[in-house]
Structure 1
Amino acid sequence: MKFFTADTHFFHKDLLGDNDFAPRPFATVEIMNQTIVQNWNARVKPTDTVYHLGDIALYFTRPAKLSNEAVFEVLKALNGNLVLIKGNHDSRDLFKYLANRNFVINGKPKFEFHDVGVIIKLNHRQLYMTHYPMMMGIVKQIINLHGHIHHYSVNIKENINVGVDTPEKDYLNYKIPFGAPFSESDIEQMIEGKRTDFAKRG
């Protein structure tokens, strides 16, 4: 099974509490991190693949090895093989650190790295997965899954925000736990929900 997420922002203490960007109601980053890990592992099996579309964590220390090690320990605790697409807050140093400590699970590396994006086919569509939203113009059977803009929605029906703070989770017929990646069926619901929403506006 494939899952999709973005903008977990592990360790990002400035998002805690009430703010205008992506408010997260946690007392500490440890509680936030633990909540995401628990909700992630409750639905993702060790044999699944999760596409993480950038901004894994926001945690920088001197030396960088300390924060890289902390992020690595969190990612190790997450079920599944992780396909990591670089976000604006993901350093090359972190990716290098993870690559040097990569390990095999399910016959594949735990971590796979991409600087810009990944394209896969799913349910007769092409999914262009990037950190930043793409402006694609008029397209057929192409959907851009992205992160970056947190609680905003791109005003284009072919763009689906899969970040943990996305407002487009409201297209789902259930309340997804905070930080849990979106399943293939969730993505279908979000695509159809946004398409229906746009048709009503017409």
Structure 2
Amino acid sequence: MQYFTSDTHFFHEQLLGMSDFAPRPFANVEEMNNTIIDNWNKTVGENDIVYHLGDIAMLHTRPAKAAYEQIFEVLDQLNGRLVLIKGNHDSRDLFKYLEHYNHSVGDGMKFEFHDVGALIKMNHRQYYLTHYPMMMGIVKQIINLHGHIHHYAVPIKEDINVGIDSPELDYLGEKVPFGTPLSSAQIEKIVEQKEIDFAKRK
């Protein structure tokens, strides 16, 4: 199975609380981190692939290696193999640290890394997986899955925000437990429902 997520922002204390930008009603980062880990692992299996579209964590512990150790410990608790696409809050030094401690999981390695994005084919469509939303214009059968903008959505039907704060999760018509990566079937439903929504606006 393939799953998709973005903007977990593990350890990011400044995001805690209710806001229009990134509503996260948790008492502390430990509660937030554990909620994401628990909900993730209830859905994702060991051999599943999760595309994480950036902004993994925000932790400014010094020295930086101490922060990377804590982030690795969290990521290593997550089921599945993680394809990590670099977000604006992710450093190449973090990726180098994770690469150094990379290890085999199921049929592959725990981590795979992309600086800019990835292109995959799924259900007769191409998906550009990026951290930042892309303005591609009208391109048939190409969807941009992205994060970065938290509780906002791009007013283009081909752009889908897969972040854990995304308002576009409402297109599913069901509550997604906080931090749960989205399955390919859920992505398809969001794509279809957003297209229907935009057709009604004309």
Do both share a fold (TM > 0.5)?
A: yes
Q: CA deviation at 1:152?
A: 0.5
For 1:11-62, what per-residue CA distance to the aligned partner results, in whole angstroms no more than 9, with x for missing partners?
0000111234212000010000000000000000111000000000011221
Q: CA deviation at 1:103?
A: 0.1
Q: Which shows bigger deviation, 155-164 or 104-113?
A: 104-113
So what's the TM-score if we normalise by structure 2? 0.99
CA distance in 2, matches of 1:38, 1:131: 24
Equivalent position of 1:183 in the other structure: 183
Letter in 2 for 1:5: T
Q: Which shows bigger deviation, 171-180 or 18-27?
A: 18-27
Runs of 4 or more consecutive aligned structure 1 residues displaced over 6 Å after TM superposition: none
Letter in 2 for 1:179: G
Equivalent position of 2:164 in the other structure: 164
CA distance in 1, matches of 2:96, 2:54: 15
Question: What secondary structure sits across from 2:129 in the alignment?
Answer: strand
CA distance in 1, matches of 2:52, 2:18: 25
Equivalent position of 2:118 in the other structure: 118
Identity value in percent:
68
Equivalent position of 1:91 in the other structure: 91
Q: CA deviation at 1:108?
A: 1.0
CA distance in 2, matches of 1:7, 1:64: 20
Question: What secondary structure sits across from 1:4 in the alignment?
Answer: strand
Equivalent position of 1:50 in the other structure: 50
Q: Show structure 1 runs of 5+ residues with no match.
A: none
Q: How many residues align?
A: 202
Letter in 1 for 2:85: I
Equivalent position of 1:101 in the other structure: 101
Contact 2:21/2:152 (8 A) holds in 1: no
Q: Show structure 2 runs of 5+ residues with no match.
A: none
Letter in 2 for 1:57: A
Q: CA deviation at 1:191?
A: 0.1
Question: What secondary structure sits across from 1:79 in the alignment?
Answer: coil
Question: What secondary structure sits across from 1:157 in the alignment?
Answer: coil
CA distance in 1, matches of 2:120, 2:106: 20
Contact 2:53/2:131 (8 A) holds in 1: yes
